[in-house]
Structure 1
Amino acid sequence: MLAIGGWNDSLGSKYARLVLDSQSRRRFVESVISFVEQHGFEGLDLAWEFPVCWQANCDRGNPTEKDGFVALVKELSEAFKAKGLILSAAVSPSKMVIDAGYNVFELSLYFDWMAVMTYDFHGHWDMRTGQVAPLFHNGCDDNIYLNGNFSIHYWLERGIPRNKLVMGMPMYGQTFTLADRNHRSLNDKTVGPGKAGTFTRADGFLAYYEICEKVGNDDWKVVRDEEGVFGSYAYSGNQWISYDDVRTIRRKAQFIKSLQLGGSMIWALDLDDFRGLCGCGKHPLLRTLNQELLGISGQKAKDCT
């Protein structure tokens, strides 16, 4: 699959200009099919973040983009079906963005599946600690919408068939620098992002393979979510990390099966412990997801974080 969009690529008006102009849409469909066929891709994944709400700011776009996006997707779908190609999308988990930017039922007629990015509910931008991808609402969060359970059910209520809805999971953690190292629970004050990782080199972000190495080798305290509400977190000094561990991924896979959803997607393949350096074997998160969703046999990964 070929994918276009993403957070950085969604800055500015180019996708809005595309969907609102019929000739631009026609040229886009033609060029995509040519490129996909030339390079042997099976289809296209659209990851515009987001119609009307550019980079989650709903004051930036124009409400007409909502119908314009449907028009583009319909035209792509008609052309793709004639060629036997797949059309999918990565979409927002935010109630505000869903309401402003997506005609959910109409879009679901044309996409083969839609993957909800049920992560980044919290991060250093909040200036307080929070779980990157809580499955359910917990009492520490004053916003009842910021969790996977709400997002998935909200998409379903808007009219998308269960078998076309895919739930996203993070293979990374959001990191924070605590304002007071003695106050290190959920919802405690922070002063900014956590320190950058050795390999990912981005403040406020660590790959799972960086997290499991830190937790396994350094002086980190891990707080596990025994009830399956919000995931795990860890802290050391003034550094604080929220992430999904093996146990959390397993619970989310079971949640997907219980709702008979279309499946799961991850961000991203290269962020799992792909070398097996932390004692869980190679790809512990992805392996757990496959075992739970597909019933693949084999030794189950242990929590090494």
Structure 2
Amino acid sequence: MSLLRPLAAALVMLGLAGTAFAQTKVVGYIPSYKGLRAVADRTDLAKLTHINLAFANPAPGGSFLNGGSPACMEAATGADISYVVQKAHAAGAKVLVSLAGGVIPACSGNWQTLLQPGTRATVVNNLVQFVNSFGLDGVDVDIEGALLTSIDNAGNYTPFIQALRAALPGKLVTAATATYEGGMIPTSSLASFDFVTLMAYDAVGPGWGTVGTEHSTYAMAQSHIATWQARGLPKSKLVLGLPFYGYGFNGYAANYSFADIVNQFGAAAAQSDLIGTACASCAYITYNGIPTIKAKTRLALQQGAGVMIWELSQDGTGANSLLSAVRAEIGSTPSGVATVYQDCNYGGYSAPLPEGSYTLSQLQSRGVRDNDLSSLRVNAGYQVQLFDGDNFSGSSVTRSGDTGCLVDQAFNDRASSVIVSKTTTAWSRQIEAENYSNQSGVQTEACSEGGLNVGWIDAGDWMAYANVNFPTSGSYRVEYRVASVNGARLSLDLNAGSIQLGQVNVPATGGWQTWTTVSHTVTINAGTYSVGIYAPAAGWNLNWIKFTKL
């Protein structure tokens, strides 16, 4: 994020250096105040691997939701988030919600108070509900500067991250950090993050730093790599931040997006890092042009796991797009429906695998060593069969979802060949709304689609469906067949509300018997539960609910 004080950060990126199949992260932030839908619509999301929606903060009581929308996320609605998630997932990118930011807004609760032991669990549970409500892929923690220091000094930062990690199995937990004293996340938290993005910019800006210098040089990235390597962050988790903006001094405007610079000063400016001359009394603009962005990306490819962009609305277009320059240096987006990892918890080197069969020599051609795999991620609708012998021989284990550590399957560091295939069947269960085991306040009526539906739903009404068995732990897609004249909201829980799974917007369909299907993705542990549907808002009908294991 664009920092509001002197800082710098560092690069890094994983891989098997020089291995085209090693997974390289391209993380882009979309600030909610720039318009989530508008930025998503003008960005080639297929060039990204991860999108961070910035920034969500808790209400004073610790809630992240107010009805169907974020409690404190400027200009963002629940419908906006769902729109970006659907569009990004279709393009193959994961979506995370980013917390806090460089400036905490007035609508936010007090992070220092909320992360104390007495209220920390409430914040974590509310974040899990937020993630499940919108089908997000994880949480990015961007608590910065003095706020970060105060929380850490009180002993509350790392326990919060550890609790968040434990509460989001199969999801991502990442962080953004600076590289100045008092602005760096503690080393005790590093093991809990999937990766960490380093904010390698803002050495000088409006109101801080030494005028006459540049705000994000290549040399800065190099020096900060060493800082984080010395702090013990492995290359597989190090991601370099790139600025898509600049600052002006001594007569120029204070702030410029890269698009502004190209539009005002022409295409030639895209090939430079300066307008004017950098000196204390000189008028100049400092930014990163295409050559420097490409050089930093190459540096990242050699030493770390990817690049991060602050932020996507500031990019140029066509031949002057910095995102296109990044992608050109990395190469085409690795395609695969499964990704295998060297270490548990998705660490070490990685390799994406399209559908197909892979002997040992074929795995080695993709950078995978014999008997060296410890975790894997699998897209919905696919499965991975691991064999302990070459040519699909010997004992095997089959996984149809993300697996954080193959130790649990007694198959750690045993794979010598792999088959990636579509799953033949996916567990699914549809429950007719009228077949509740208990209810409060609702009635049934004839449904235009046949049978009965539940209607006359007022705020506070609920239906419960006993003895619903979920065969395996993991992600489930939950679909609801709904109708509403004006739109509303429903909530899903287990065991009389003891486990909250999230809320879903019910759109205005135009009539009580004009039906549509809405859905979200939730995480459920294997077991038998009473499923609850609750009405936080009135004015909707329900025909059925359907669960599908992903």
Structures share a fold, TM > 0.5? yes
**Residue in 2 that maps onto 1:285:** 322
Decide which structure has greater strand share.
2
- Name the SS for the 2:126 alignment partner: helix
- Residues 229-257 of structure 1 deviation map (CA, whole Å, 9 limit, x = unaligned): xxx21129964100100000010011111
The aligned residue for residue 147 of structure 2 is 54
Question: What is the deviation of 1:24?
Answer: 1.5
Q: Does the alignment pair 1:208 with 2:258?
A: yes
Q: Which amino acid aligns with 2:173?
A: L
Q: 1:253 aligns with which of 297, 321, 345?
A: 297
Residues 192-217 of structure 1: CA distance to partner in whole angstroms, max 9, x if unpaired? Answer: xx32xxxxxxxx11000110122218
2:205 aligns to what? 123
Segments of 5+ residues of structure 1 without an aligned counterpart are 137-146, 179-193, 196-203, 225-231, 298-305
Task: Give the superposition deviation at 1:103.
Answer: 2.2
Q: Given the alignment of the two structures, is residue 33 of structure 1 paired with residue 128 of structure 2, yes or no? A: yes
Residue pair 1:116, 1:152 contacting (<8 A) in 2 also: no
Q: Do 1:134 and 1:148's aligned partners in 2 also have CA atoms closer than 8 Å?
A: yes
Query: 1:295/1:38 Cα in 2 relative to 1: closer, same or farther (>3 Å)?
Result: closer
Partner of 1:272: 315
Give deviations 1:245-303, integer Å, cap 9, x for gaps. Answer: 000001001111121x11010010010014x4xxx25xx21111112124569xxxxxx
SS of the residue 1:47 aligns to? strand
Aligned residue in 1 for 2:306: 263
The residue type paired with residue 165 of structure 1 is L
How much does 1:163 deviate? 0.7
Structure 1 residues 118 and 273: CA distance shift in structure 2, 3 A = same
Give the deviation of 1:44 after TM superposition: 0.7
Q: 1:234 aligns with which of 275, 281, 288?
A: 275
- Cα distance, 1:46 vs. partner? 0.8
**Cα distance, 1:223 vs. partner?**
9.4
Contact 2:271–2:290 under 8 Å retained in 1: no
Q: Give the alignment's Cα RMSD to 1 decimal.
A: 2.8
What is the aligned residue count? Answer: 234
Quick one: distance in 2 between partners of 1:120 and 1:248? 16
Separation (CA, whole Å) in 2 of partners of 1:249 and 1:167: 11
Name the SS for the 2:144 alignment partner: coil
Q: Which amino acid in 2 is paired with 1:206?
A: Y
Structure-2 separation of matches of 1:10 and 1:91: 19
2:159 is aligned with what amino acid?
A
Q: CA deviation at 1:16?
A: 2.0
Cα displacement (A) at 1:91 = 0.8
Measured in 2, the distance between the counterparts of 1:86 and 1:223 equals 36
Shift of 1:149: 1.6
| 1:221–1:68 Cα change, 3 Å | closer
Q: Tell me the amino acid that sits aligned with residue 212 of structure 2.
A: T
State which of 93, 98, 105 in structure 2 corresponds to 1:3: 98
The within-5 A match list for 1:14-25 is 14-19=110-115, 21-25=116-120
The within-5 A match list for 1:157-236 is 157-177=230-250, 194-195=252-253, 204-216=254-266, 224=272, 232-235=273-276
Aligned to 2:33: none
| Larger helix share, 1 or 2 | 1
Larger of the two Rg values belongs to structure: 2
TM (normalized to structure 2)? Answer: 0.40
Aligned-partner residue type, residue 258 of structure 2: Y
- Give, in whole Å, the separation in 2 of the partners of 1:248 and 1:265: 15
What residue identity is the alignment partner of 1:271? Q
Instruction: Verify: 1:44 aligned to 2:139, yes or no.
Output: yes
Query: Which residue is 2:176 aligned to?
Result: 90
Whole-Å Cα distance in 2 between the matches of residues 37 and 223 of structure 1?
43
Mapped partners of 2:100, 2:186: distance in 1: 19
SS at match of 2:247: strand
TM-score, reference length from structure 1: 0.69
> For residues 270 and 290 of structure 2, what CA distance do their matches in structure 1 show?
14
Deviates more, 1:115-124 or 1:9-18: 9-18
